Each structure stands twice: as structure tokens, then as C-alpha cells.
Amino acid sequence: MKNSIIGKDKNGKILRIGDRCQFLVKKKGHIGLIPSKYISMEGTISYDEEYFAFVFDIEDEYQPCLFMKIAEYKSIERVEE
């Protein structure tokens, strides 16, 4: 599954498990598409076998990963290393 293509980012680049990405997450309690209502985050794509879902592994001791569906649609951008 390591080399499996899971989609494309906002620029059309192919996304795979292990790719580092930047993305936006809506702040809790905000509705609508106002840019200041988002938090920019960065994480590495992985697959969580417990939940059968793709996640972003992030460096946060309270929440070590986020489901990919939490990221705003069309905000995911692969970071070149």
C-alpha cells in the first residue's frame, strides 16, 4: 500500500502514503469560506488500520493524527522535500 496513489493535491500532484502536505482546517464553530477562519497545518499521509481511514500524522501530543476528511477540500498541497 506504500506506493498506492490516494488522490491529487490542489495543484494536481499525485498523493501517496508518506507524502508531507500542508492543508487548512476550519476553526471550531465557524461556518463558511472566510480565509481567516482556518488554521494552516502540516502532516504526513498514513493509513490508520484501526479506523480503516487515511490520516495526516501531525506533531501534536494531544491529537497525533487527523482524518483526511477534516482538511478543507482543495486545500491539500504536497510539500516538496
C-alpha cell at 48: 490508520
**What confidence tier does 81 reach under pLDDT thresholds 50, 70, 90?**
low
Determine the pLDDT at residue 52: 92
Q: What is the pLDDT of residue 59?
A: 82
Query: CA–CA separation, 81 vs 63, rounded Å?
Result: 24
pTM strictly above 0.85: no
Beta strands in 1-81, from DSSP E residues, in sequence order: 5-8, 14-16, 20-26, 38-48, 53-57, 65-67, 77-78
pLDDT at 30: 53
pLDDT digits (tens, 9 = 90+) for 13-37: 999 999 999 999 987 765 555 556 8
Instruction: Tell me which of 3-12, 16-25, 28-37, 38-47 is least confident.
Output: 28-37
